[in-house]
Amino acid sequence: MRWALICVLLLTSPVAAQNLGGFARVDPTQSQAKDGFFGKTHVTLSLSQGVPYRLFHLTDPNRFVIDFQQVDFAGLLPEDFDQSDQITALRYGALGNGWSRMVFDLTVPMRARDVSLDIANDGGAAKLSFTLTPVDADEFAKSAGHPEQAQRQSLPEPSLSYAPNSQDDDILVVLDAGHGGLDPGAVAGPFKESTLMLALVRDVREALLRQEGINVALTRNSDVFISLEERVSMAYELGADVFISLHADAVTLGVARGVTVYSLSDQASDEASELLAARHDRDELLSGVDLSEADDEIANVLLEIARNENAPRIKRLAEELIDGFQANSVKVNSRPHRHAAFSVLKAADIPSVLIEAGFMSTSNDLKNLQNTEWRQKFAQGVVQGILTWSQKEDILAPKLRQ
């Protein structure tokens, strides 16, 4: 893949240089994408000050991406900003580690031309402008890709908390709140999956930390975007004993309710599970992260290890979690343990599960996710499941080594 780092910031005034590294804000009244002649689209972003930025594009589907260091998009509405027929969807938000991102979905391959960042001498306000111009599909594909080092640039430090009287042999549970930043996940009215899962993951963390012998790390503790690959990398780097990713999807057909625990399999247990995994990964793809070559080594090598060695442990973990939920009066799905090829579960030598805590498309589940008492019951279910699983694994370990 050929890298496509199109541009970087050039400071043009002493005022801008003084402001470099500050927090820029978008002026929504002076920012717009609109169509011009010959299939071109003119994009203007008005910023309170100049900041470093980079432009690149990706294929399958065709997307144009802008990364900033760092921009507040408050007040910018996609329906007001996007007046172009060539841009079918727009997403933006915090990327992590001081970066923000905008992603434009394109109807046809387009590249940025006439890129400029004009910075005012009086106050340092800046205006980023460029023209998206249709190009040949082959040309677009050849130059598509992330800027050099962009993949790992956004990796934030995980939030690590220790149990009372922490010991070296304590269990480390990595909790992953799904989605975040420019990827809100499922949306139901004013509620975003990313926000609800962050609240839930914090409640689970507090419940786990009340148990001696369990330490907890969060992949994210704020509304930032972290790629699936980076979440898996965090678990590896921390030496996680258990990885749990929390989600709350929505369905457009039929009705689904209750907690479901997913473990990794390249063969989905049912069509709904397969579609769910594809949708989660596609959300990542549409957010600007290209998954086409991600996790190849993990998928091809460690999955075999998971099948032969770790799959029984993961199965037991899923079952104990389900028992823990039921013991704490948390309603589970009619088929509570399912399988799918979630990318976030591909740390195959770490026992990993993805828990759909409910379905935001079901009113009772949505109410539960907002309810403090229900979240505490859910958290106690996780605690009971992990403790029981861990105790049984300690008993089984000598037998498995024989």
pLDDT value, residue 119: 81
Neighbour order of strands in the sheet with 259-264: 159-161, 214-218, 171-177, 242-247, 352-356, 259-264, 332-340
pLDDT value, residue 13: 33
pLDDT band at 284 (very low <50, low <70, confident <90, very high): low
pLDDT value, residue 388: 96
> Three-class SS string for the chain?
CCCCCCCCCCCCCHHHHHHCCCCEEECHHHCEEEECHHHCEEEEEEECCCCCEEEEEECCCCEEEEEECCEECCCCCHHHHEECCCEEEEEEEEEECCEEEEEEEECCCEEEEEEEEEECCCCCCEEEEEEEEECCHHHHHHCCCCCCCHHHHCCCCCEEECCCCCCCCCEEEEEEECCECCECCCEECCEEHHHHHHHHHHHHHHHHHCCCCEEEEECCCCCCCCCHHHHHHHHHHHCCCEEEEEECCCCCCCCCCCEEEEEECCCCCCHHHHHHHHHHHHHHHHCCCCCCCCCHHHHHHHHHHHHHHHHHHHHHHHHHHHHHHHHCCCCEEEEEEEEECCHHHCCCCCCEEEEECCCCCCHHHHHHHHCHHHHHHHHHHHHHHHHHHHHHHHHHHHHHHC
Q: Which residues pair with 360 in a beta bridge?
A: none
pLDDT value, residue 121: 73
The rounded radius of gyration (Å) of the Cα atoms in the chain is 23
Q: What is the pTM of this model?
A: 0.70
CA 378 to each of CA 66, 147, 258, 293: distance values in angstroms, whole numbers, following the listed order: 39, 41, 11, 35
* Beta strand 99-106 pairing with 82-83: unpaired
Contacts of 382 (CB under 8 A, 6+ apart): 204, 207, 208, 244, 321, 324, 355
Q: Are 155 and 230 in contact, with CB atoms under 8 Å apart?
A: yes
Q: Say if residue 401's pLDDT is above 60.
A: no
pLDDT band at 290 (very low <50, low <70, confident <90, very high): low
CA 348 to each of CA 63, 284, 290: distance values in angstroms, whole numbers, following the listed order: 31, 20, 21
d(CA 333, CA 335): 5
Contacts of 189 (CB under 8 A, 6+ apart): none
Q: 244 φ, ψ to 5°?
A: -130, 120
pLDDT value, residue 294: 47
Q: Are 26 and 71 in contact, with CB atoms under 8 Å apart?
A: yes
Q: Say if residue 296's pLDDT is above 80.
A: no
Q: Say if residue 11's pLDDT is above 50.
A: no
Averaged pLDDT for residues 389-400: 76
Averaged pLDDT for residues 234-249: 91
Predicted confidence (pLDDT) per residue in 354-380, tens digit: 999 999 989 999 999 999 999 999 999
Averaged pLDDT for residues 271-284: 62
pLDDT value, residue 104: 95
Who has greater pLDDT, 280 or 99?
A: 99
Kindly report which listed range (185-194, 203-212, 339-348) carries the lowest average pLDDT score.
339-348
pLDDT band at 398 (very low <50, low <70, confident <90, very high): low
Q: Say if residue 295's pLDDT is above 60.
A: no
- Other Cβ atoms within 10 Å of 227 Cβ, number: 24
The answer, yes or no, to whether the previous bond of 49 is cis (omega within 30 of 0) is: no
pLDDT value, residue 255: 63
pLDDT value, residue 157: 73
Predicted confidence (pLDDT) per residue in 119-169, tens digit: 877 767 889 999 999 999 999 998 888 775 444 444 567 788 887 878 888
Predicted confidence (pLDDT) per residue in 325-344, tens digit: 999 999 999 999 998 777 77
pLDDT value, residue 345: 78
pLDDT over 90, % of the chain: 46
Two tokens, residue 264: 């990794």
